Structures are given as structure tokens and as C-alpha cells.
């Protein structure tokens, strides 16, 4: 598997799957044992449609991946076939699952797309466009949710941070930080892609002259070059192109968030599905601040607190059962990508970088 020495793919190792599993399961076990009560299992009862809702939750993850595949087909102008889009999505999710976002970022994704047959300019444009559309979905959806759901209902949780001041609420602060990061990133990306790509590259290189950032100046130069290359491709696209790609993006992310709704329906009647959906989107924004691979550890902690007031059992047992649900959620929405990626990644490396490798299907 002769991956080029300077390629960011060299940082992706199968053995890295151990770390997010240890972190995620470790946090669940620690929090569970801290307040463990065996009688919790006496209170757990399954909805009569439990198996159906479990299947629905898994199907929604499939719908989510289908949305991503459709988006890649749109952004590549159908130059990528369905098999190629599936490989790219699985490899991309695997990379995100085992590395912090700073490592498993756009440079790796561009390699995946490029090695599936697109030239480097087109690959950069596809990856930058996906990043732009993802951030746009978050930034548009979050304010819309606040129009229909009061901030108090969204952030004032059962038995946690009951004060009236939102800035005293940890979850609100986490969401605010995450949203601010996304807003700044989208502004910079939009400016570079659609208005002044060379100016943005110059600004990045100037910023990364600072002593504390100098070690990453080469990566900043590569990112700036990717934005310049992508800009040429993307500024020519018509509005209909962006509309179709955004609909696929919204379709994909919305399906992912409904997974939590389906999991709760295994055990309970959910009184407010829209609020539960909104909490899931906000939770995803909060997970940005956790630097661990795939948000492991932090994601389970956020889930166990942020969805606790939807659990309709004795309040003494809510914490323990919320952790059971958090683990089930990660089992469906996170760990499968570790398994699939572990199978696909080494074969893909041999196919694309081995002797006699090519970019064919």
C-alpha cells in the first residue's frame, strides 16, 4: 500500500478505530456506573412496534447516505457513478470517525474524489461545495427552529440549568460557540469561493506566518490553492444546480436527525417530535467543540443530558437509561462506519495506490 509520503492518507490508520471506541464506550460506562441501579431494567418496556422503529432508525441512516450519494452525483455532474459515490461516502465517514476534523478534513476527501476519476480541480470543487452546503443547512435551520420553538424549551432541560438566563446554561453556550464557528467558517468559505479566492489565500498565508501557526503554513497554502481551483468551477454553476444540491443536503441531514425520534419510539410515545428533532440539530452543533475522533465521549455525554427529559420513566433512573439510548444511537449512527471503513479502506488503498493501480470503477 504505497501511499505517497506527503499524502494526508498516511495519517489514516485502521488501528485508529480503537481510540473512538474506547472514548465513547468509556464515557458511557463511567457515567453509567456512577449512578447505576439494576432496578432500571424493571422500568424498561418496549413499544409493541419496537422492532419496526429499530428498523426505521437503521433505514433512516441508509436514507441519509443515499442523500449524500445523490448530492455527489449532482456536484460531479454525474461523472461519478453510484458505486463510486458509495465508496467515497463510506471512506469519508470512516475518516471523520477516526480523526479529529482538523486531520480528517477536505484534503483527504479531495483525494478520495480525485482517485475515483475526477481531475484535481473538479475534486476540489466537489468537496468545497459539500462543505459549503452542509454549513449552509445548519446556519439556515437553527434560526428557523428558534422561530417555532422558544429558546427556553430548547435549552432549559429537566433538572439541569433551570435558571432563566440562557448565558448561564452550558448547552446554550456550547451551541453558541459551535454556531459561531460554523458562521465564521461559512463566511470565509463563501468569500473565497465566490468573491475573492486569491485574496483569501493571501490572507490565510499571512495569518499562518504567526509563530504559533507557522507549522501548519503548508497546509494553509494547500487549502488556499484548493479554494482558488474550486472557485473557477463553482462560480459558473446556475441556481438550479445549487438548489438541487441543497435539497439533497437537507434530505440527508434531516433523515439523520430523525434517527433519534425513531429510537425514542422504541420505548415511548414522543409528545413533541419537532422539539426532539430540534434538540438533535443543536446537539450536533455542540459536538463541534469536542476535539476527539468523531466527537467520541463528548457526543455520548451531550446525548445523555440533552434528551433526558424525553425519557418517560422514574426520574431517579433517567440518567442511566439516557446512557443506554446514547449507546444505542452511536451503535446505529456511528460504529457501522468504523466497521465498513475498516473493510473498504485497505482494499481501496491497494486498488488506487498499488502496483498497476488505476482510477477505473
* pTM of the entire predicted model: 0.82
Among candidate residues 114, 142, 41, the one with its CA nearest the CA of residue 357: 114
Q: Are 157 and 306 in contact (CB under 8 A)?
A: yes
CA angle 40–42–43, rounded 5-degree value: 70
Segment 123-150, tens digit of pLDDT = 888 888 898 999 999 899 988 888 888 7
* pLDDT score of 1: 47
The interaxial angle of helices 170-194 and 197-207, nearest 10 deg, is: 130
Give CA separation, 238 vs 128, 130, 234, 241, 280, in Å.
17, 16, 9, 5, 32
C-alpha cell at 203: 490572507
- Tell me, rounded to whole angstroms, the distance of Cα 227 from its chain centroid: 21
More confident: 17 or 205: 205
Per-residue confidence (pLDDT) for residue 62, from 0 to 100: 94
Average pLDDT of the residues in 191-217: 74
**Distance between CA atoms of residues 246 and 231, nearest Å:** 18
Q: How far apart are CA 58 and CA 301, in angstroms?
A: 22
Q: What integer pLDDT is reported at residue 216 of this predicted model?
A: 62
Chain centre distance of CA 290: 12
Whether the Cβ atoms of residue 276 and residue 145 lie closer than 8 Å to each other: no
Amino acid at each position: 500500500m504505497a501511499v505517497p509520503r506527503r499524502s494526508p492518507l498516511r495519517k489514516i490508520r485502521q488501528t485508529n478505530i480503537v481510540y473512538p471506541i474506547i472514548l465513547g464506550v468509556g464515557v458511557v460506562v463511567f457515567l453509567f456506573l456512577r449512578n447505576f441501579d439494576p432496578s432500571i431494567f424493571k422500568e424498561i418496556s418496549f413499544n409493541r412496534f419496537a422492532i419496526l422503529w429499530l428498523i426505521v432508525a437503521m433505514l433512516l441512516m441508509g436514507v441519509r447516505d443515499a442523500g449524500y450519494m445523490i448530492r455527489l452525483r449532482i456536484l460531479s455532474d454525474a461523472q461519478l457513478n453510484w458505486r463510486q459515490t458509495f465508496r467515497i461516502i463510506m471512506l469519508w465517514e470512516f475518516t471523520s470517525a477516526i480523526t479529529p476534523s482538523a486531520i480528517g478534513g477536505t484534503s483527504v476527501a479531495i483525494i478520495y474524489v480525485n482517485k475515483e476519476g475526477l481531475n484535481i480541480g473538479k475534486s476540489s470543487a466537489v468537496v468545497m461545495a459539500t462543505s459549503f452546503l452542509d454549513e449552509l443547512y445548519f446556519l439556515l435551520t437553527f434560526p428557523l427552529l428558534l422561530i417555532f420553538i422558544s429558546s427556553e424549551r430548547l435549552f432549559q432541560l429537566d433538572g439541569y440549568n433551570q435558571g432563566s438566563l440562557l448565558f448561564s446554561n452550558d448547552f446554550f453556550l456550547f451551541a453558541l460557540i459551535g454556531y459561531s464557528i460554523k458562521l465564521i467558517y461559512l463566511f470565509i468559505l463563501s468569500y473565497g469561493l465566490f468573491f475573492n479566492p486569491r485574496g483569501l489565500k493571501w490572507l490565510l498565508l499571512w495569518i499562518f506566518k504567526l509563530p504559533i501557526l507557522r507549522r501548519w503554513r503548508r497546509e494553509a497554502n494547500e487549502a488556499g490553492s484548493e479554494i482558488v481551483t474550486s472557485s473557477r468551477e463553482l462560480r459558473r454553476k446556475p441556481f438550479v444546480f445549487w438548489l438541487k444540491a441543497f435539497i439533497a443536503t437537507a434530505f440527508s441531514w434531516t433523515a439523520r436527525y430523525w434517527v433519534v425520534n425513531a429510537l425514542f419510539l422504541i420505548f415511548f410515545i414522543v409528545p413533541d417530535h419537532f422539539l426532539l428533532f430540534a434538540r438533535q440539530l443543536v446537539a450536533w452543533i455542540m459536538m463541534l467543540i469536542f476535539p476527539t475522533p468523531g466527537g467520541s465521549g463528548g457526543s455520548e455525554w451531550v446525548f445523555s443530558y440533552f434528551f433526558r427529559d424525553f425519557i418517560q420513566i422514574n426520574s431517579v433512573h433517567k440518567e442511566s437509561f439516557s446512557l443506554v439510548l446514547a449507546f444505542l444511537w452511536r451503535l446505529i449512527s456511528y460504529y457501522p462506519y468504523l466497521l465498513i471503513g475498516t473493510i473498504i479502506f485497505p482494499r481501496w488503498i491497494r486498488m488506487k495506490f498499488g502496483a498497476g493501480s488505476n482510477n477505473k470503477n
